[in-house]
Amino acid sequence: MMWETLQQQQPIFSRIFKHQLEREQRSHAYLLVGNHLTREAALFMAASFNCERGLIACEQCDHCRRVFAHQFADIIELDGSGTSIKKEDVLKIQRQFSTSALEKNAQKVYILNGVDQATKESMNALLKFLEEPEGQSTIGILIASSLDNVMETIQSRCQIFRFEQANPEKLQQLAETEGVDHEEAFFLARLYPDLSQMMDHAEDPQFKNVIGSLKEIAGELFRKPAVGMIYLQNFVSRKSGNGYLEFKLFLDVFILMLEELVNTQNGVFDSLSTALIEKNQKHFLHYLFVSITIRDRLTKSVNLPLLVDQMCYMLGRTTDES
């Protein structure tokens, strides 16, 4: 249940939000700041404002289910984390909210994610909307990674909640409770800043392919380095248009694996035996240095097969010298 997660991971927000609802002291605009659970919290707030059963979203009634499924007509969501929010986007929300609510007994809510990346023109339009909201019963929930690029005049008109950043261990545990594989959850929690992004990528075919290839390549590299290097070269030779992104992701997860092995001698990677790890312990630091070096050399215009050849040559030096 999302409410339980918010209470555990964002206790200050949870207590204050519940306190406000109990005293019927809703703000007309909220600003959620941070990268961990802000998007989930915004949707939970919108569900709470429209729950048919109580003050806090029950997550079971028809209204709650449709809010969480992004199918509630009087809740408008705009994600500006990838593409900046434009002035026309804000004006469109104003026009939509100038009419009566479409749902029965509904609270109209707009959720704007990425306001710290929005254009200046859109923020000026939003400022006017915050000062003079169209229609009645309108609540705005804004989300920003940080306050640095959010206009002070916007901040002054919102109730600000600063969300605590989750450590990777907590994120990993949350992902595992959602059914994500233990090893995959380890990588996801260190690649992405919040649970929603982790879950989005958990089923991404590219991520799945990279993790599968990592287990195969690392396993062979630690057993028979020459064979592992051939696997690595084959992995890159199979790539086409998006080879750069996939190889970058491979390097990122390989570096995370090596860092963990250098620091803890495992405890995470069930696919690697204890004997195999002990055998290669003296090589892990060198492998890590090589991988970081290659990642620094990786650009979109680089010749990938040639770069991988360089990586294999550098990786092979430690086995030649041992």
CATH match of 2-165 with 3.30.365.10? no
Q: What is the pLDDT of residue 212?
A: 93
* Domain extents in the chain: 2-165, 204-321
User: pLDDT tens digit string along 128-153?
Assistant: 888 765 545 789 999 998 888 888 88
Q: What is the DSSP letter of 251?
A: H
* Whole-number pLDDT of residue 313: 93
Whole-model pTM? 0.62
Determine the Cα–Cα distance for residues 219 and 238; give it in Å rounded to an integer. Answer: 19
Cα–Cα distance between 310 and 163 in angstroms, integer?
43
Long-range contacts of 228-237 (CB under 8 A, 24+ apart): 229/312, 229/315, 229/316, 232/308, 232/311, 232/312, 233/305, 233/308, 233/309, 233/312, 236/304, 236/305, 236/308, 237/305
* Residue 103 to residue 101: CA distance in whole angstroms: 6
List, for the chain, all residue ranges whose pLDDT scores fall below the cut of 70: 82, 100, 132-136, 239-242, 265-267, 275, 318-322
Across 74-85, b (16+ Cβ under 10 Å) vs e yields: bbbbbebbeeeb
pLDDT of amino acid 90: 86
Torsions phi, psi for 162 (to 5 deg): -95, 115
